[in-house]
Amino acid sequence: MPNIISIKNLSKTYASGFRALKGINLDIKRGEIFALLGPNGAGKTTLIGITCGILQPTGGSVTVDGHDIINDFRAARSLIGLVPQELHTDAFESVWATVNFSRGLFNKPKNPAYVEKILRSLSLWDKKDSRIMTLSGGMKRRVLIAKALSHEPQVLFLDEPTAGVDVELRKDMWQVVRELRDAGVTIILTTHYIEEAQDMADRVGIINKGEIILVEEKAELMHKLGKKHLTLYLQQKLDVLPPALAAHALTLSPDGTELIFSYDTQAERTGVTRMLAAVGDAGIRFKDLQTQQSSLEDIFVGLVSDRS
């Protein structure tokens, strides 16, 4: 079975009557890193909450490795580790106690060596005897990650794991995530730092207002929607684009000092050479040039704003 999670027609209406999920269909492949992106309130946390057993679905079904999350909840939940978005911690417990508590909850025998390894990989080892309330926000976030990893999950949900974590530790954290992926763990993450998704994810799903609007291989997505722009900074201002250049995908900036050429990097022929030759033939000289690739963020913003 290639899909480890299969979500079918999942809907969620909160007690307030608010429809947070409207018939979600989504498959997560075994061993991938899946980035779930969407603006605030899109339904990411709701989707994760239902899959993990924290919220009750209104309709539809979810299976984890073939186990239904309701009828076969023990098998389904045993496979899942969750790092929640909110920093919910037991203030008075020590780091060591709380991580071992999680392991017990998931019915795993004690394994101090394994817990030590996790704490070390998250730079928490020297804090193991500290009470959680004495830790900083970023440290608490890492404690939550340690708790989620304590029971050796097959699937890891990271709901905004890097919020409030500094740059250095964020790198370490992604290193941990990569190692987990290499060890075969499936990872589903949400983040508002889109460049992180761009770096990490194998596939990207975009959710907006309770609906999945796109699921795509990241590479494919970048390919399909990723445009590159070549900007020529002109030596002399142009008033209008010379007719000789009309055949090329060129636009003149409003102030007349830049020519912008948009092209698809993945295409067989990008047309850069022909365009440059044509520009030279037209007697236009430029002092500098720059190319720019549209990021996942541009794609994301484009898609989400289209729909709203």
Partner 1 sequence: MNFRAIQAIYYFEMSRTARTIWQSIVSPVLSTSLYFVVFGAAIGSRITEIEGIAYGAFIVPGLIMLTLLTQSTMNASFGIYFPRFTGTIYEILSAPISGIEIACGYVGAAATKSIILGLIILATSWIFVPLHIAHPFWMLTYLVLTAVTFSLLGFIIGIWAEGFEQLQIIPLLIITPLTFLGGTFYSIGVLPPFWQKIALFNPVVYLISGFRWSFFEVADVGHGISIAMTLLFLVICLAAVWWIFRTGYKLKK
- Minimum CB–partner distance for residue 89 and partner 1 (Å): 7
- Judge whether 100 and 150 are in contact, CB under 8 Å: yes
* Residue written as token pair 């009828």: 71
Residue 109 contacts which entry, ligand ATP, partner 1, Mg ion, none (Cβ below 5-8 A, type-dependent): partner 1
- Minimum CB–partner distance for residue 54 and partner 1 (Å): 5
Q: Which of residues 66-85 bind Mg ion (CB under 5 A)?
A: 85
Pairwise CA distance, residues 297 & 288, whole Å: 26
Look at strands 155-159 and 186-190 and give their pairing. Answer: parallel
Q: In what helix (H) or strand (E) does residue 59 lie, and over which residues does it extend?
A: strand 59-64
- Identify which of residues 107 and 273 has a Cβ nearer to partner 1 in the complex: 107
Q: Which of residues 8-67 bind Mg ion (CB under 5 A)?
A: 44-45
Residue 80 contacts which entry, partner 1, Mg ion, ligand ATP, none (Cβ below 5-8 A, type-dependent): partner 1
Q: Could you say which of 28, 37, 45, 162 contacts ligand ATP (CB under 6 A)? A: 45
Q: What is the CA radius of gyration of the chain?
A: 24
- Piece of the chain touching ligand ATP by CB under 6 A; list 38-46, 92-100, 106-114, 296-304: 38-46
- Minimum CB–partner distance for residue 84 and partner 1 (Å): 5
- Residues 73-102 vs ligand ATP: string with x where CB under 6 A? ------------x-----------------
Q: Which of residues 222-241 bind Mg ion (CB under 5 A)?
A: none
Q: What are the contacts of 222-226 at 24+ separation with CB within 8 A?
A: 222/198, 222/296, 222/299, 223/266, 225/294, 225/299, 225/302, 226/264, 226/265, 226/266, 226/293, 226/294, 226/299
Residues that bind partner 1 (CB under 8 A): 14-15, 52-56, 73-78, 80, 82, 84, 86, 88-93, 97, 101-109, 147
Q: Bridge-partner residues for 67, per DSSP?
A: 64
- Identify which of residues 160 and 258 has a Cβ nearer to ligand ATP in the complex: 160
- Identify which of residues 36 and 124 has a Cβ nearer to ligand ATP in the complex: 36
List C-alpha distances in Å: 114 to 14, 86, 94, 189.
39, 26, 17, 24
Q: In what helix (H) or strand (E) does residue 22 lie, and over which residues does it extend?
A: strand 19-29
Asked if 41 interacts with ligand ATP (CB under 6 A), we say yes
String of b and e for 81-95 (b: at least 16 CB within 10 Å)?
bbbbbeeebeeebbb
- Minimum CB–partner distance for residue 157 and partner 1 (Å): 9
Pairwise CA distance, residues 70 & 45, whole Å: 18
The Cβ of residue 284 has, within 10 Å, a number of other Cβ atoms equal to: 18
Residue 308 contacts which entry, partner 1, Mg ion, ligand ATP, none (Cβ below 5-8 A, type-dependent): none
What sign does the dihedral 213-219-225-230 (CA atoms) show? Answer: positive
- Minimum CB–partner distance for residue 88 and partner 1 (Å): 4
- Minimum CB–partner distance for residue 185 and ligand ATP (Å): 22
Nearest position to Mg ion, beta carbon = 45
- Minimum CB–partner distance for residue 91 and partner 1 (Å): 8
Residues in contact with Mg ion by CB under 5 A are 44-45, 85
